[in-house]
Amino acid sequence: MEKTKKYCYGFCLLSSIVINILFSINLYVGGGGGALQWGEKKHETVYRPSLTWSEKAAAEAEAVAAISCSGHGRAYLDSLISYGQTVCECYDCYGGTDCSEFSPDCSADAGGGDPIFLEPFWMQNAEKSAIVVSGWHRMSYRYADYTMIAAVYALSSENSSSPSNVVATIPYYPMYETQTSFFNSEDFQFEGDTNSWKLNNATKNNMDVIEFVTSPNNPDGELKTSVLGGKTIYDHAYLWPHFTPIPGPSDHDLMIFTLSKLTGHAAVRFGWAVIKDKDVYEKVSKYMEVADLGISKDTQLRVLKLLKVVVEDDGKQLFKFAYAKMRERWDRLTSVFSKSTRFSIQERHPLHCNFFNKTRLPSPAYAWVKCEREEEDDCGAVLEAGKIASRGGSTYKAKDRYARLSLIKSQDDFDLLLLRLTELMSLENGKIESI
Ligand SMILES: Cc1ncc(COP(=O)(O)O)c(C=O)c1O
């Protein structure tokens, strides 16, 4: 009996020591914080911290990302829920609950500039670009950033008897006019095309002008330089190696950029400026502080995560991916247009790219299409009749003989655009009346 008791005490002591060792390892490896789980990876034992509050959110995010929508749509965490199921948001021309139904008569929409062509890159980099944000992440006020109109405000002359004149060169991005006019300021006003302005004001001295120089340009992709050589805002939204060879570092007094055409995240609404002059910088900062109340910290966190992926390997990964995609689209597009005498697209000239260290052709975000037939002076309407939605030249204050086609949308959108263009061009040589 005594002997059995002794064994029992001995066994209890041994078990207690083993359990304590296990707890100590657990605490030590877990840094005194969360509990640990044991896992097997091939033949080695690995420890991974078990998740607590983020586990459900991560599982939800992965579950929704795993919904395939037949490859012709996406499901998002904030998509509609129907009968307990997340509803797929189908790309244009696709429908059905899983986006598998293609509408054969659907028009190709090459109007908008949604940069979805980079979506596959971010899927390939899902692990590196995902963020988990706690409900209490940075709740205090922060003041940060906004760009285009802040730059105009900063360069305009306050307290002058007449407002600064804001100009841009045709064809130009329409938002310069929309924003400048909308703010209806006493300090600046939009005056339209740079060249017309130069002609009309050739004899007047000391005119206060702010010139937007869009380089590369939207809609035609040209690397523009200043016409007037005075105060300039260089808009470098498209100055990325996937759209243009980079001839060298850009070194202007005020340059503005946007995340949307760099990483494809248009909805994040993030832009920045590089400014040489301290007073101009302070005016831009003041504008952002007062008018915009800053960019949300949530946005800044997302951008930080994305830019960390971009700068990895000196930016080679993203730019190689994006350039390969744009180049392939341009190769296919030029091959289609080469068979047409009715339509033409902008000429592209090779340049040395200091980023890739190669001489190559630009691959702009948009094709600037010209309808060559005398009588076809509304190119948007001609394309529309061929089931292609574009943006007409007058949107950019150019002639409507021109139209802009977006090449940066999803692969489905681009494939359908090429199909519709091919159909349209096969109707040339006398069969024009049938469309
Ligand atoms: C020339 C140019 N600048 C600036 C922007 C602004 O870009 P976002 O509104 O995506 O920041 C665009 C967008 O299309 C653009 O084409």
124-166, pLDDT tens digit by residue? Answer: 999 999 999 888 887 765 554 468 888 888 898 876 778 899 9
CA proximity to 226, closest of 213, 208, 243, 242: 213
pTM comes to 0.83
> Of 264-273, 298-307, 372-381, which has the strongest mean pLDDT?
372-381
**For 326-369, how does the pLDDT look when each residue is reduced to its tens digit (9 = 90+)?**
999 999 999 999 999 999 999 999 999 999 999 999 999 999 99
pLDDT of residue 297: 80
Distance CA 192, CA 190 (A): 6
Question: Which residue, judged by its Cα, is nearest atom 12 of ligand 1?
Answer: 237
Helix ranges (H only) for 140-213 are 148-155, 175-182, 194-200
Q: Which atom of ligand 1 is nearest to the CA of 235?
A: 3
Measured between its terminal Cα atoms, the distance across the chain in Å is 104
| Residue whose CA is at the smallest distance from ligand 1 atom 4 | 237
Query: Where is pLDDT greater, at 6 or 179?
Result: 179
- If pLDDT is split at 50, 70 and 90, which confidence band does 37 have? very low
Looking at residues 236-265, what average pLDDT do you find?
96
Nearest CA to ligand 1 atom 11: 258
- Inform me whether the pLDDT recorded for 222 exceeds 90: yes
pLDDT at 303: 93
Can you tell me the distance from the alpha carbon of 242 to that of 315, in angstroms, rounded to the nearest whole number? 11
With residue 27 as reference, give the H or E element that holds it. helix 2-29
Q: Which atom of ligand 1 is nearest to the CA of 266?
A: 10
**The pLDDT of residue 281 is above 50:** yes
Q: Do the beta carbons of residue 346 and residue 385 sit within 8 Å?
A: no
Token duo for residue 348: 């592209």
Q: Is the predicted pLDDT of residue 106 greater than 60, yes or no? A: yes
Q: Where residue 291 falls among pLDDT bands split at 50, 70, 90?
A: confident
pLDDT at 2: 53
Among residues 144, 147, 206, which one has the least CA distance to residue 179?
147
- Region 83-101 average pLDDT: 95
Average pLDDT, the chain: 87
Return the ∠ at Cα 395 (arms to 392 and 397), rounded to 5°: 110
Using the predicted structure, report yes or no on whether residue 23 has a pLDDT greater than 70. Answer: no
Region 295-318: mean pLDDT is 90
> What pLDDT is attached to residue 39?
37
Separation CA 307–CA 259 (nearest Å) = 9
Ligand 1 atom index nearest CA of 365: 16
- Tell me the three state secondary structure of residue 319: helix
Instruction: Give me ligand 1 centre to Cα 409, in Å.
Output: 15
Higher pLDDT, 214 or 45: 214
Both tokens of 198, joined, read: 């130069």
**Percent of the chain predicted with pLDDT > 90:** 68
Q: What SS3 state is found at 231?
A: strand
When pLDDT is averaged across residues 190-210 and rounded to a whole number, the result is 88
For 310, other C-beta atoms within 10 Å of its C-beta total 19
Q: What pLDDT does residue 204 have?
A: 75
Under the banding of pLDDT at 50, 70 and 90, the label for residue 87 is: very high
- The number of the ligand 1 atom at minimal distance from the alpha carbon of 214 is 1
**What is the atom index within ligand 1 of the atom nearest the CA of 148?**
4
How high is the pLDDT of residue 29? 39
Q: What does the pLDDT average to over 90-118? A: 95
Distance 271 CA to ligand 1 centre (A): 9
Among 114, 173, 408, residue to substitute to test ligand 1 (most atoms within 8 Å of Cβ): 173
Å from CA of 379 to ligand 1 middle: 24
Using a 6 Å CB cutoff, which residues line ligand 1?
Answer: 113, 173, 214, 218, 235, 237, 258, 260, 266, 271
Q: pLDDT-based confidence at 34, cuts 50/70/90?
A: very low
DSSP string for 250-271: ---SEEEEESHHHHS-GGG--E
